[in-house]
Amino acid sequence: MHGYGIKDPGRLILLHPHSSNPVKIWPRERFAALSDKICEEAGFTVGVIGGEGEAALTDDLIMAMRHKALNLCGRFSLRQLPALFKKARLLVSNDSGPNHVAAAVGMPVVALFGGRDTGTAPGRWAPYGNGHRVIWKDRLDSITVDEAFEAAIVLR
């Protein structure tokens, strides 16, 4: 993990700001603000995960942060993600596959959902198991940075 700039995995909070469905993406500027708040107010390091194709988007996101997060996009294969999730503290993510991988290995997840139709509602798609927080509003952009931060701090 040190090869990726991860000095203390126990002080690492992961963000997954990506989704193949644009409707399921919380505004990137809010992810940037959340990352800064996590660093400033809770003293954690932030890492951003995603696929190789999301590295450039993540670079743009990280440029908007005052406290630069680690760009871990494309550095962990789907097979390697569980090992990362077992070491890091928690994941804050849009409604996407990494939520389920993290939940499967017992990592706490803050899952962000927006919309009311069955394709975007958490009833069926929320992380399985206990110890997770789901924030769900009619519109994903109605979720505030403070709401996401409070959910993350409760789970950490």
Question: What does the pLDDT look like over 48-96, one tens digit per residue?
Answer: 999 999 999 999 999 999 999 999 999 999 899 999 999 999 999 999 9
Give the structural domain span for 102: 2-155
Q: Listing from the earlier edge strand, what are the strands of the sheet with 70-71?
A: 70-71, 45-48, 12-16, 90-94, 109-114, 133-137
Question: Total domain count for the chain?
Answer: 1
- Model confidence band, residue 152 (pLDDT cutoffs 50, 70, 90): very high
- Using alpha carbons, select from 34, 52, 50, 53 the residue that is nearest to residue 112: 34
Instruction: Give the pLDDT score at 123.
Output: 79
State the CATH number of the domain containing residue 113.
3.40.50.2000
Residue 155's CB: how many other CB atoms inside 10 A?
A: 18
Backbone angles phi and psi of 11, in degrees to 5: -110, 20
pTM: 0.94
